[in-house]
Structure 1
């Protein structure tokens, strides 16, 4: 059967650069991984995560995923490698195709958990960020099946049918050396199952991105939506395939796996419907967006300014207190009379007058006398009663009474001049 129009298959899927083979299947897988990491980085940055985290986690997740995908394929199709006519060495030939998505997701998740623990971030938040990228990466990777002429469905007579070379058509067993299945030996075109799944994965990518923006899917719900949507498409695409596979209760094993995984994803979406807490997406860099270090907190900066201002004010107050006695002398005092009068009073046997100390050095001021005027005949008279009212106090005899006590600055001039003019004894100010 040969339709009028169809999708041609490539004539070859490997090229040699000297001894180095370049395989289209590997190129598609690598390109899908790169696109998945790129989209995941963009979505992770939109969540507020540190750039470069997706790449670091991919270092763990990708190798685990490749090993898991190959193990799943080998285990589910073990007769190809460990059967009566199997070749165990072929299990290592990953370039020939054969990666099971369920094993890749399972072990890839284990690698992602290890990477997330090393970076101290939430694996659920990371899963939400990379979910659309994984679907888009699958869409690209499925084109590797096109280059290997695998992953096709039942015969199809339509313009979008895929041409399959005779040696790549279904065989009686999974062994590549087994004879062709007589039902398909003369059939040239089939359902392009790889193309269906590729387009379906593109639709899943768009769905997850839209739903995440519309409903704010967090805490693993975006990843669960991806899994649920993918399994729906994988179920009906798997039903189109005619290659050799294990069956259980009339359905292929991958169909049953799709049902179980779909129910698990839907159950998680229901149980996590109310989760709204903050997700751990890593530490925020100490530097701001411009690369400069972040400044101190406003409250702390304000407190520091207040402390500096208080210290400056306290120092200024101390300076004023030290300078005040010298900047503001008593106007009643003269430059020369006070020390000489104190010496004269000390010689008359009266209490020795002391020079007033600066205000800052006195513990407390002494009380002022009630009256600056002398009282005649009162106690505290001088021994001689001689006049001491002359302006030149150097001429006064030592036996005369001192004119001032030095106890109060306000008793200097009035008390001495008044008593000397009248010839009356001077009253001590104490």
Structure 2
């Protein structure tokens, strides 16, 4: 029996699915409802795309194409889920991609072109999904509930990037999803932590935030870069550490470096408990002959004040095992090094641990177009400092 529901948000392209997914996720976070958003499309847009400055978000967005390998991995992720899922599947026009529908449990349909509705309704019936809502998506006008039970039907408006969904239809939908996803938080926590590595320091970020009196938004802590120094002072340095909970990439990277040379583990809602892969530095000869089939491509960019190491995917889906032992390009030992890329947290922690010997190390943060210093021996770059990318002292 499946422990957690997986709710597909489906419909033809340009119906507002990504905006609805993001808005639902934000609503669930404010209610303290644990969940995970899986964007099961190679051009899926993470939360960063809706929160970053628009010009930057367009530059960062990576377009891709479905292939059999991508679908295989997404199906695997959904099957081994560790939390309730919201699954944004994109337009999904081919039978091969429809295999994703075979492993979800529920569906929300969002339709802008009425001619597409019968096709999507037939898909829901064929795969035996529980239909939660069947909605017309319109850019303008008023939201309207036409039928509440057993399926929520109506008109939802204003699903545009840069705006949060709102109105009676959205609130009714958010309440239904919250009820479906509502598990006892302490039960979920115990379930996940019971699988943690057998080490002394298993850190729940929510508990840590309460001990450090971190500012909260609703039920969730709102970590800020200036919290880093006292957080690092609070935790033992150089001890095995396992990290659980929601937090920004720079926070995870800082703690991964803080644990060195001891092991570091993190809970990933796709993978469960995982240790970041280990990278090594390439020699000049190895760099020239690097395997072009490597799943990641690295670019070193010189700029005033230091360097930027940018990581990009060569194909849209990367497994942890594929990245073990990857070669990093040589980078001169001077100035601030900023780690950049649209990466999962376990890759940011892997990069940070590999680059921990730098004079100063920072992680790029798309929200605000800035970088956060996570480790430093250079007084010019104190830990917790936020550097705007436009700042002339930062690689730009």
Structure 2 length normalisation: TM-score? 0.20
Structure 1 length normalisation: TM-score? 0.19
Say which one has the larger Rg: 1
Q: Which protein has the bigger helix share?
A: 1
Q: Which protein has the bigger strand share?
A: 2
